[in-house]
Amino acid sequence: MPRGPDRNIVTLLAILALALAACAEPENENPDQEPGGLPDSLAFEYQRPDVGSALSAAEITDFTRKLTGFWKQVGYFPWVLQTSHGVHESTGQRPYMVWWDGVHAFREGNQVRFYHVDPDGGGHNIMIPTPRVLSSAIAGYLLTGDRHMAEVSKQYCRGITATMLGMVHDQDDTLDHLMARNIAAFGHSYQTEEGYQVEIDYSGWYHSYEHWNTCRFPYPDNPYWDSIWVTNMRSKDDVPHIYLAVPHIAYAAEQAEDADVKEACAETLSYLQAFAKDIVDQGYRIRSKDENGEPFLPGYTGDEEADQAAGDLASFVSWDELIPNAECNAKRTSALIGYGDDKRLDCGPASGNSYEDVATTVHYYNHAIVRFFHLAHIANALINHDNEAAQTLLTGMATRIEGYYDTPDADLPCSRSEWENDLALLALRSAAFGLPLTSREARLIHQQWIAGVDEFSKWEYWNLWDPAFEDGQLPIHPSDERDDQRWARIEDITLLLEYCWSPLRNPAGVKFIDCDIVADPAQWGQ
């Protein structure tokens, strides 16, 4: 069966395109934007008055020692490689890995089988944790040169690309940049670097279904993996997290010394640029494909019942008639990634509008969509030298975070613990892209990440192949909640690498971790 375009050719073309773009006079519709390559520092000064009690030098040292010691103790990135999967390179077919949910692990003798268990769901939002782990891995690799971080960077870049190549119906389908929620390839077995036996069992997902927000069906003639199963209708839930990983992927494509990492991430960058451009070209809507490989717009098919159910699932313009330019962050970020300019969109500080008030009242998860589209907008504005907009957006982010702090318990849509945990994540990731943190925010990050380390250090299942375990089902990931209490998620526990690596972090922010130690794994835990 034909295998599809050779990935080396595709990637070489992507790298050549990057090189040509760097040399050519860029098309620049915004006169305030400056041409150039990726920035190596924050291009402007931006300060905030400090709030809260400053961390002592001893607190910063203890936090750094505790956090890096945990990373070292559990071997975080080797563990990611052991528990992630997609298609292993030993099969001879195109390899990739992602961070899964909807999967169970079964110890069977000296082998662990990863079984995709739920026939009617599972894996719908794997592109929320996957880009976060990828961002940590790329940042950590560029900061330290660690080979396991490099391997995660390579395989997870390929994993994002796989969600698009998996939606190629057959050899004649040239539309290769629309994104699936996930793909389920073929069952296979392999051995890890450590000698552990792994079996990947996708058979639980070899079933068709139709839901209001997604469908699953087979593509028996996919040119990249032969017969695969596709879960379609990439919703906008995951897109801000994908967009926020674009700067890391771009830096890896430009600066990685490992040729395989550079190649994989350059290819991913080119596909994500095409994905974002398609969204802009479709009037800021996210296209998908059906079981026959035909593209369509969820919510705009002409089927009144289906379109009403889909609502604004894959659209950034559904609210525009009621609230003009309601989802400006999502639209302008798509334009920056897809076209390298803003398409004359002006979002101002983007710290709140009537759309946000309504959307976040409907469901709490809309808070994450709103927050991280704002942050992804800042990050992509910075790497596109759109500095005036970035500075305005940072002011909006500061206003947003301070408003979250001031929200009374009676107005919270969740427990105070969950609210503060998500606030700590937003503050930490914003600090990597120009926001100077206050002492209050730094202390909250310490609180949530220390709680995470304390909980995860008690977890027993870091090595699923430990002979002490009997055969049967074992948990893959430790929990980040108990009753009403929350702590930093395991997929976020290494995001301090992002902060310490970032060329765009603001020197005006308070110090809360020793980045010299973070940058040297030999000193972790010391």
Query: Is the Cα torsion angle 430, 435, 437, 441 positive or negative in sign?
Result: negative
What per-residue confidence (pLDDT) applies to 13? 46
What per-residue confidence (pLDDT) applies to 298? 97
Determine how many CB atoms are found less than 10 A away from the CB of residue 392. Answer: 18
What per-residue confidence (pLDDT) applies to 27? 44
Q: What would the two tokens of residue 52 be? A: 């809260």
What per-residue confidence (pLDDT) applies to 351? 83
Go through 334-351 and write b for each residue having 16 or more CB atoms within 10 A of its CB, e for each that does not: bbbbbbbbbeebebebbb
What per-residue confidence (pLDDT) applies to 35? 54
450-492 per-position pLDDT tens digit: 999 999 999 999 999 999 999 999 999 999 999 999 999 999 9
Q: What would the two tokens of residue 361 be? A: 């009242």
Rounded to whole angstroms, the Cα distance separating 523 from 526 reads 5
At 42, is the secondary structure helix, strand, or coil?
A: coil
89-123 per-position pLDDT tens digit: 999 999 999 999 999 999 999 999 999 998 887 89
- Which is nearest to 521 in space by CA: 504, 492, 497, 505? 497
User: What percentage of the chain has pLDDT greater than the value 90?
Assistant: 91
Rounded to whole angstroms, the Cα distance separating 334 from 277 reads 7
User: Which residues are 201's β-sheet partners?
Assistant: 115
352-402 per-position pLDDT tens digit: 789 999 999 989 999 999 999 999 999 999 999 999 999 999 999 999 999
What per-residue confidence (pLDDT) applies to 120? 81
Which is higher by pLDDT, 23 or 121? 121
Single-letter residue type at 200: I
User: What percentage of the chain has pLDDT greater than the value 70?
Assistant: 93
What per-residue confidence (pLDDT) applies to 36? 64
| Contact between 267 and 161 (Cβ < 8 Å) | yes
Q: What would the two tokens of residue 264 be? A: 């994989």
What per-residue confidence (pLDDT) applies to 24? 41
285-305 per-position pLDDT tens digit: 999 999 999 999 999 999 999
Positions of E strands within 226-362? 226-231, 288-289, 295-296
- 464-469: long-range contacts, CB 8 A cutoff, minimum separation 24: 464/82, 464/83, 464/105, 464/107, 464/112, 464/196, 465/107, 465/110, 465/112, 465/194, 465/196, 465/197, 467/110, 469/107
308-343 per-position pLDDT tens digit: 999 999 999 999 999 999 999 999 999 999 999 999
Q: What would the two tokens of residue 298 be? A: 């969820």
User: Which residues are 200's β-sheet partners?
Assistant: 114, 188
pLDDT at position 522 over 60: yes
Q: Which residue has the tokens 């318990």?
A: 409
Rounded to whole angstroms, the Cα distance separating 490 from 449 reads 10
At 498, is the secondary structure helix, strand, or coil?
A: helix
pLDDT at position 31 over 70: no
Helices 239-255 and 147-165: angle between axes, nearest 10 degrees? 120
pLDDT at position 34 over 80: no
Q: What are the φ and ψ backbone dihedral angles of 240, each rounded to 5 degrees? A: -60, -30
Rounded to whole angstroms, the Cα distance separating 518 from 60 reads 12
pLDDT at position 10 over 60: no
**What mean pLDDT is predicted for residues 3-18?**
46
Q: What are the φ and ψ backbone dihedral angles of 103, each rounded to 5 degrees? A: -130, 140
* Averaged pLDDT score across all residues of the chain: 93
Single-letter residue type at 394: L
What per-residue confidence (pLDDT) applies to 7? 44
Q: What would the two tokens of residue 133 be? A: 């782990």
The structural domains of the chain, with segments of one domain joined by +, span: 83-302
- 218-221: long-range contacts, CB 8 A cutoff, minimum separation 24: 218/291, 219/166, 219/167, 219/168, 219/169, 219/170, 219/293, 221/1, 221/169, 221/170, 221/171
Residues ≥6 apart with Cβ < 8 Å to 267: 7, 10, 11, 14, 157, 158, 161
| 266 secondary structure, DSSP code | H
For residue 19, how many C-alpha atoms fall within 13 Å in the half-sphere facing its CB? 7
What per-residue confidence (pLDDT) applies to 3? 42
User: Do β-strands 111-116 and 197-201 pair in parallel, antiparallel, or remain unpaired?
Assistant: parallel
